Amino acid sequence: MTLPGSVDALAALLAEHGYLAPPSLATTLYLGLVLGKPVLLEGEAGVGKTEVAKALAAALGRRLIRLQCYEGLDATTAVYEWDFAKQMLAIRLAEGDRSGLEKALYSEKFLLRRPLLDALAPDPAGPPVLLIDELDRTDEPFEAFLLEILSDFQVTIPELGTIRAAAPPIAILTSNRTREIHDAIKRRCLYAWIDYPTAERELAIVAARAPEVPAQLAAQIVRFVQALRATDLFKKPGVAETLDWGHALVALGAVELDPDTVEATLGVLLKYQDDLARLTGPAARALAETARRPA
Amino acid sequence: MARPEPSGERLARNVLHFVRLLRRAGLHVGPGDIVDAGRAVAAIDALDRDQFYWALHAVLIRRHADHPMFDEAFRLFWRDPMGGESALALLLPQMKTPTTKPMSRRLSEAWRPPAPAAAEAPPAQPPEIDTFLAYSADEILRTRDFDEMSADELARARRLIRGLDAKLPTIASRRTIAARRGRRLDAARTVRAALRHHGELAALLRRRRVERPLEVVVLCDISGSMGRYAEMLLRFVHALQAHRGTGHVFTFATHLTNVTRVLRDRDVDRALALAGREVTDWSSGTRLGACLHEFNRLWSRRVLGQGAIVLLVTDGLDREDAGELAAEAARLRRSCRRLIWLNPLLRYAGFEPRATGVRALLPNVDEHRPVHDLDSLASLAQALAGL
């Protein structure tokens, strides 16, 4: 499908697919699409960075190609690899005539495509969405390697030559900021910081993503989580936790927040023992009481 | 009046001496750069001072951080005694002590072996120190408490710290490189080698894991009670990180300041001066627990992600809530590879953890070391390399 014609059109399209993007994010994404530039998304864990790419792929009807980063990620797992087992077999089979063997061994037939090379291949539905997830988990050598791909959308395979994307993929990079991404990468990207949503937006997100949560409970959940984020925590709950909590409370048959259920299910929201210890008991009860009172 | 042409030979020799001066001042310039510098000045109009300046700059400077040092060295070395007649400046090497503007200490030390004016080559001087404290005739200096040093002793101690060549601890990364021996098969190289031998598998080639240096994150107490120790420790950290631009440094007294960027300056004196400008709570009281809390909340996930070692430099004299301090230190210890407490008060043989802050901190660190003299810094460097 063709690209949306305005920021609002893109935001509306994403909303149809269950992603409620704040204006700053929608604008950055739109510019990324129009200018053909990668978008680097940073934000706390659980604010929906990865979801952006998924929603974008679904909304535009494109294929989603995901590269999960980890330490030591290298070209053989990210871009391409030669199928050595097959190559060895071919060497054995070519017992007699071995002229031209080298050329035959380094041809497309023996090439294993990995996500980044895959993303450069032409696609009838249009260029895919390339999600490079949690870039901060890799190391600097891999970032340096990404530079060529992100600036020119091309990959050089010594034996085959340079492979260039006919139309550049829609590249989305995410980082949890456990390490600063190198400036050279940042310079090639548009940048958006995804913050925790406002109460209003979060309520809309719960309605869109967890429609089985009754409206009154959803309002209480959001008020509770918003109040929780205002307290001094080591790790604040993200939107993902809010949704999980909604699902959890519905699974327990709760129709509204009562202090006992809150205390029993706090582990869905808080994942650090210090935070849990600080919040259990009176503090959680007080928060639950506030959340139950309509604003 | 026709301007005198600089003689090529003399100019080349002066360029050589200028490059040596830069090297002594700590810039990374090698013999290849001398050749390049010679070529560069030959290719331009050496009488044009601006051209001459930028030609040398283009060849010799590769990091923006080195620019100020180059600028100062250039100004002093190629200074013109007759006032702006650049040709004369090129002809006449001037090795008089500059008086116009105070030199940076590093430059003035680099200057000390007075070489270029002499017709003969300067006598080769042995480097003042090769490895940190590997041989130092001055036993007294090594074990003299920083707080009791005279100005002269301090200057010598600072020089020794600057010359420190400590190795950072390394850890096996998940990245591999081709190697003669290693655990993993290098299939790509093996196939390629086989092709060279007409398809015969001559040997299985290998890869091994690459070692990467561990990050070191420093939290340095700069409150009044830390006196000289904070400064000396920051110098030590500067020397430790001079080889690579990673790691993070924070200072704290009443609040936390990230001084990582300013400490990247190659000149330690200027780096500290810059840090001094960033930091607003030098020599005030300490809020240790609150500062650790701030670090844990705002920074720990951002800078400790790669499995860093944390050096916590403090005397532990904190009059605030000991419970908070213990909890935050425990939190910090769980977030990093190793939490090492460097405590200048540990110098006293009879040190006993009496202060509440010290008692709160002690059970929550992996290691407790003294940092009050050169010897303790040397053993710290050794301990770090051995981690």
Cβ-nearest to A94 among B173, B199, B327: B199
- Over range A100-119, report the average pLDDT: 89
Q: What are phi and psi of A67, to 5 degrees?
A: -115, 110
Residue B336: per-residue pLDDT:
92
- Asked whether the beta carbons of residue B297 and residue A177 sit closer than 8 angstroms, the reply is no
Residue A277: per-residue pLDDT:
87
Inform me whether the pLDDT recorded for A56 exceeds 70.
yes
Q: Is A130 helix (H, G, I), strand (E, B) or coil?
A: strand
Give the long-range contacts of residues B6-11, CB within 8 A, separation 24 or more.
B6/B46, B6/B47, B6/B87, B6/B90, B6/B91, B7/B91, B8/B42, B10/B90, B10/B91, B11/B41, B11/B46, B11/B90
The ipTM assigned to this model is: 0.75
**Among B275, B253, B276, CA closest to B263:** B275
- Over range B91-106, report the average pLDDT: 45
> Where are any strands of DSSP class E within chain B?
170-179, 184-185, 206-213, 216-221, 248-252, 256-258, 309-313, 338-342, 367-369
Report the residue of A70, A272, A274 to disrupt the B interface, i.e. the one with the largest count of B CBs within 10 Å.
A274
**Looking at beta carbons, which residues of chain B come within 8 Å of A232?**
297
Residue B93: per-residue pLDDT:
41
Helix ranges restricted to H, A140-281: 140-152, 183-188, 199-209, 215-230, 239-251, 259-265, 273-279
**Can you tell me the distance from the alpha carbon of A62 to that of A121, in angstroms, rounded to the nearest whole number?**
13
Q: Residue holding tokens 């400590």?
A: B166
- Asked whether the beta carbons of residue B195 and residue A105 sit closer than 8 angstroms, the reply is yes
**Looking at beta carbons, which residues of chain B come within 8 Å of A71?**
173-175
Task: Work out the pLDDT band at A98, boundaries 50, 70, 90.
Answer: low
Q: Tens digits of per-residue pLDDT, B144-199?
A: 888 888 888 888 888 888 777 667 778 888 888 899 888 888 988 888 888 888 77
**Looking at beta carbons, which residues of chain B come within 8 Å of A102?**
195
Inform me whether the pLDDT recorded for B270 exceeds 90.
no
Across A128-137, B53-62, B131-140, B299-308, the highest mean pLDDT is recorded for A128-137
Sort strands B248-252 and B256-258 into parallel, antiparallel or unpaired.
antiparallel
Residue B4: per-residue pLDDT:
47
Residue A282: per-residue pLDDT:
87
Across A16-25, B51-60, B86-95, B241-250, the highest mean pLDDT is recorded for A16-25
Helices first, then strands: H and E counts in chain B? 16, 9
Residue B313 CB coordination number (10 Å): 24
Report the residue of A89, A93, A105, A232 to disrupt the B interface, i.e. the one with the largest count of B CBs within 10 Å.
A105
Task: Work out the pLDDT band at B134, boundaries 50, 70, 90.
Answer: very low
**Looking at beta carbons, which residues of chain B come within 8 Å of A84?**
187-188, 190-191
**Which tokens sit at B203?**
């040997």
**Can you tell me the distance from the alpha carbon of B331 to that of B300, in angstroms, rounded to the nearest whole number?**
10
Report the residue of A74, A87, A112, A275 to disrupt the B interface, i.e. the one with the largest count of B CBs within 10 Å.
A87
Distance from CA of B199 to the nearest CA of A (A): 6
Q: For residue B297, what is the nearest residue in chain A, using CA coordinates?
A: A234
Residue A16 CB coordination number (10 Å): 12
Residue B243: per-residue pLDDT:
56
User: What is the spatial order of strands in the sheet that A190-194 belongs to?
Assistant: A64-68, A129-133, A170-175, A39-43, A190-194
**Can you tell me the distance from the alpha carbon of A153 to that of A167, in angstroms, rounded to the nearest whole number?**
9
Residue B105: per-residue pLDDT:
55
Residue A82: per-residue pLDDT:
92
**Which tokens sit at B297?**
């909340």
Sequence-distant (≥ 6) Cβ neighbours of residue A5 within 8 angstroms:
none
**Looking at beta carbons, which residues of chain A come within 8 Å of B212?**
139
- Find out whether A170 and A125 touch, Cβ atoms under 8 Å: no
Q: What are phi and psi of B331, to 5 degrees?
A: -60, -45
The percent of residues in chain A predicted with pLDDT above 90, rounded, is 59
Task: Work out the pLDDT band at B124, boundaries 50, 70, 90.
Answer: very low
- Residue B277 forms contact with A (CB below 8 Å): no
A106-115, A174-183, B37-46, B100-109: lowest mean pLDDT where? B100-109
Residue A295: per-residue pLDDT:
58
- Asked whether the beta carbons of residue B174 and residue A141 sit closer than 8 angstroms, the reply is no
Inform me whether the pLDDT recorded for A33 exceeds 70.
yes
- Residue A16 forms contact with B (CB below 8 Å): no
**Looking at beta carbons, which residues of chain A come within 8 Å of B187?**
82, 84
Q: Tens digits of per-residue pLDDT, A283-292?
A: 888 888 888 8
- For chains A and B, CB pairs below 8 A equal 58
Residue A97: per-residue pLDDT:
67
